[in-house]
Chain A
Amino acid sequence: MLPAITADKLTKRFGDFTAVNQITFEVKKGEIFGFLGANGAGKTTAIRMLNGLSRPTAGKAQVAGFDVYRQTEKIKRRIGYMSQKFSLYEDLTVRENIQFYGGIYGLPLAEIRRQMKQLVAGLGMEPYARNLVKSLPLGWRQKLAFSISIMHNPEIVFLDEPTGGVDPITRRQFWEMIYKAANEGMTVFVTTHYMDEAEYCNRVSIMADGRIAALDTPHALKEQFHATSMNDVFLNLTRPGRQAS
């Protein structure tokens, strides 16, 4: 089976500054892949290249089987994207957001109607379907945003800090939605700098200074660094003045 993402010495330079320095990795189909790193480590730049939004300086990468230099439009059709900061239009209702994104993704009207029912029912949001998104509690908004980001059934969904500030029960409901999507074969690429979320991933990569400093299952990383939590692994790898063992 073809990997969902392959990156081979993928590099991005801005003038003298190398933001992403020859990163090489693979993400398997149906995998929940955590993409971690300190602020400024190069995560955002790497993701923008994988999403077809930023042209790499050097190296190779394929996303959903398409080339990040030449086939960016094909990539954009096969991925979903959700960020904590902006995903839904707050001044539109739940239904209007679903309609709007369905249209953007080019789904047929019948399919949008079907999704509308299924998605709203799945979230238990029937009584609020005609309410403005801004009137919903944050946790619901985030769950709705995730459902909408995968309504066109993308091969890969990119989640940029999806659960910041959400209460612990809703946060778990959110992760169960992620598990469900992955279980059905979707590849999930998550960035977060909150380490408790890292432990939900099948595998985790940690970037430091533009490079991938470690990549493995959370379990194996904890063993490798003799750490009890991913937080300790992360500090070990990225704190100035400390050397990785």
Chain B
Amino acid sequence: MSNQFAIDIQGVSKRYGKDVQALDEVSLQVRPGELFGLIGPDGAGKTTLIRILATLLLADEGQATVDGWDVRKDYKQIRRNVGYMPGRFSLYQDLSVEENLTFFATIFGTTIRENYDLIRDIYGQLEPFRTRKAGKLSGGMKQKLALSCALIHKPSVLFLDEPTTGVDAVSRHEFWEMLQRLRQKGITILVSTPYMDEASLCERVALIQKGRILSIDTPANIVGSFDKPLLAIRTDDMYRLINDLRQFESTHSAYPFGDYVHLALDGPIWAEAVHAYLVGKEHTGIEIKPAEVTIEDSFMELMSKE
């Protein structure tokens, strides 16, 4: 059972029915203490992979270990040693905040007091509401309670399935701050998210799409591997701008990015040449500058190569 990785996934595949290949030979390794992001849209296979690791679902093919334990043979040990926060809020809505936490502590043979240190940061914010029913909490507070419950038995590995989906930007920010602090306590964290901007908050990420891994690396390296010149362009008419840029002869891709369009070019083209082209198309208010490559640029480039 010795294994240098906290999570080791080798060639895992999973199919639902005849048509849906949820995971297609996925391999990835997460190091002990790492904050690892699984980044991809709905339907990419994130939940399936996490459920296989949490021993709630069996893979059709391939092997996986968590903390050195095999997900098939050693599921009991895994269940004792990992924390799992599912995507859907799954606490008891009719129990109070404190009752939910006590329940999870008891199931794992521990008490709130014993591991209070680990959740102090998170649960502390909920204590003023500890008699409130879980179903009556706001989205951000539900999320904090769910995280507290997943942590109360001091797991070595924590699985978080889309913890920030549907949560506002403020709570999202606070949640990631909590994860950074948990990481410092040595817990290995595998977190999934459909929001690309959260990738930069992880040490390493796997970009996943349609059951296949597109890339595994640090966010900086993924962004750095984007190998085309990239310009950020805006004019007074964004809709026409996108369409015109797609007609430009050196365009590799043109996608709206906030109030700019990101233009990836097939060769080293001067910004002046693009400017002249847009002037020729009677655009006004033209602004062209080098673009900072984001994870989304990389993701889309990798997607279109598949």
Contacts and interface: CB of A to CB of B under 8 A. Distances in A.
A168 B169 contact: no
User: Chain A contact residues: over half helix, strand or loop, or mixed?
Assistant: helix
A200 B256 contact: yes
27 contacts: A37-B168, A138-B42, A138-B43, A164-B165, A165-B41, A165-B194, A166-B194, A168-B41, A169-B300, A169-B304, A172-B300, A175-B256, A176-B239, A179-B239, A182-B239, A193-B169, A196-B197, A200-B256, A218-B259, A230-B258, A231-B197, A234-B169, A234-B170, A235-B169, A238-B168, A238-B169, A239-B173
A199 interface: yes
Contacts of A175: 256
A169 B296 CA distance: 9
Interface string B80-108: 00000000000000000000000000000
Contact of B168 (A182, A193, A199, A200): A193
B196 A39 contact: no
A230 B197 CA distance: 12
Contacts of B138: 39-40
A200 B239 CA distance: 11
Nearest to A195: B169
Given A38-B168, A39-B171, A182-B239, A168 B139 contact: no
A219 B236 CA distance: 13
Contact of A179 (B41, B170, B242): B242
Interface string B162-185: 000111111101000000000000
**Closest 5 A-B residue pairs measured CB to CB?**
A199-B258, A167-B41, A165-B42, A179-B239, A193-B168
Contact of B170 (A137, A199, A200, A239): A239
Nearest to B257: A199
A139 interface: yes
Nearest to A233: B169
Contacts of A219: 259
Given A139-B41, A167-B209, 16 more contacts: A38-B168, A38-B169, A38-B170, A38-B171, A39-B139, A165-B194, A166-B194, A168-B41, A169-B304, A170-B41, A179-B239, A182-B239, A199-B258, A199-B259, A200-B259, A234-B169
Interface string B290-306: 00000010011001100
A194 interface: yes
Interface of A: 37-40, 137-139, 164-170, 172, 175-176, 179-180, 182-183, 193-196, 199-200, 217-219, 230-231, 234-235, 238-239
A172 B256 contact: yes
A168 to B, nearest CB: 5
Contacts, number: 89
Nearest to B260: A199
B169 A137 contact: no
Contacts of A193: 167-169
A138 B202 CA distance: 26
Nearest to A219: B259
Contact of A39 (B140, B194, B197, B300): B140
Contacts of B303: 167-169
A138 B259 CA distance: 25
B195 interface: yes
A58 B264 CA distance: 51
